[in-house]
Structure 1
Amino acid sequence: MSRKTYSLSAVAIVAMAGLSFSSADSAEALAQDGVVEMAASGEASTEEVVEIVPEQSVFVSEEVVQPLPEASARPVASAASLSELVAAIDSDQELTEQLHCLAGAVYFESRGEPLAGQLAVAEVVINRAEDSRWPASYCGVVYQRSQFSFVRGGRMPSINTSSPAWLRAKAVARIAHDGLWETEADGAVYFHAKYVRPGWSRAKTRLAQIDTHIFYR
């Protein structure tokens, strides 16, 4: 015969106790008779004996602490300068495909520029990806035909991935993507070198010039 144990509330226990037999003697006699009858007949009872065990209260003596979300590995934008923030970024972390495209644009378009100029170039790619006039991804923006001169045949040239310039470009891409530092070219979707003057620039709003690049929206 199997045994089941149930945990009931104190109210349920009292209620069930009220259904007991009129006397302890009669209850014991009936129980014994039932056992004798079962033993004599050799038949197993179809009913299970249920033992009612009150549920005990459990008190926790230690403070219950909810687990916190895993801390972000990204540094807080409280650095004293952009160069300090770039140095704090983990440049060894592997990039996603989209961040690789963004870092590639920074590398090929502005690796000789100051960090502020590199950040502004990244800002242009990000702003275009968020604008319905351009493809909705960093890679789509970078590889869009006739937009970036370093893209040839729909491909990005090889990158010297061990160079300091690439490590900086990776860091700048992360900073721009996460919005960790403000840029003078906020809202820019166009830029060109200062030694050229494309016709479209006359119809755009100039936002900033950072070293050799001029940025517009």
Structure 2
Amino acid sequence: MLIQGAILCLAMNIYHEARGEPVKGQIAVGTVTMNRANWDVKEICPVVYAPKQFSWTSLKKNPHSYPPKGDKSWQRARQLAKKIVEGELQDVTKGATYFHTHSVKPVWRHTFQRTVVIGNHVFYASR
């Protein structure tokens, strides 16, 4: 049950943060989440729902609500999350623990080392 819950949390994060990205970008968002959780399944949900870490969890609408059942992006996010948790997909971010889209310029970005740009996201790791 723990693994299923972790997969669900990871899938929600992939879906809400990267559903419009190429598959590699979705994997990247998933692996950032895993890097933050130190690849510990028990830590995935606490990482996803930590205050002010991922934009979608701060929305006024219920961030726990599920995407529509027929949504292909949701189905892909679930598949990718399962593969990431099961160790079938590797980190494509070079150890990144943070990311942002090109449309924002967070102050913290200068604190970290840029590792890769995938799709609309820029990824960063500790220096």
Give the TM-score taking structure 2 as reference length: 0.85
For the residues of structure 1 that align with 2:90 and 2:34, how far apart are their CA atoms?
A: 13
CA contact (8 A) 1:108 1:150 kept: yes
Which structure exhibits the higher relative contact order, with contacts defined as CA atoms closer than 8 Å and separated by 6 or more residues? Answer: 2
CA contact (8 A) 1:207 1:215 kept: yes
- Please state if 1:194 is matched with 2:102: yes
In structure 1, list runs of 5 or more residues that go unmatched: 1-94
- Opposite residue 201 of structure 1, the aligned amino acid is R
- Opposite residue 141 of structure 1, the aligned amino acid is V
Instruction: Give 1:147 deviation, angstroms.
Output: 0.9
3-state secondary structure, aligned to 1:150? helix
Q: What fraction of aligned residue pairs are identical, expressed as a percent?
A: 35
For the residues of structure 1 that align with 2:65 and 2:57, how far apart are their CA atoms?
A: 7
Give the TM-score taking structure 1 as reference length: 0.51
CA contact (8 A) 1:143 1:155 kept: no
Residue correspondence of structure 1 range 84-163 to structure 2 within 5 A = 96-130=4-38, 137-152=43-58, 155-163=63-71
Q: Deviations over 1:113-152 (max 9, x none)?
A: 0000000000011111118xxxx61110111111111113
- Opposite residue 125 of structure 1, the aligned amino acid is T
CA contact (8 A) 1:188 1:207 kept: yes
Between Structure 1 and Structure 2, the one with more helix by share is: 2
3-state secondary structure, aligned to 1:96? helix
- Please state if 1:177 is matched with 2:98: no
Please report the RMSD computed on the Cα atoms of aligned residues, expressed in angstroms.
1.9
3-state secondary structure, aligned to 1:130? coil
3-state secondary structure, aligned to 1:185? coil
Residue correspondence of structure 1 range 55-74 to structure 2 within 5 A = none
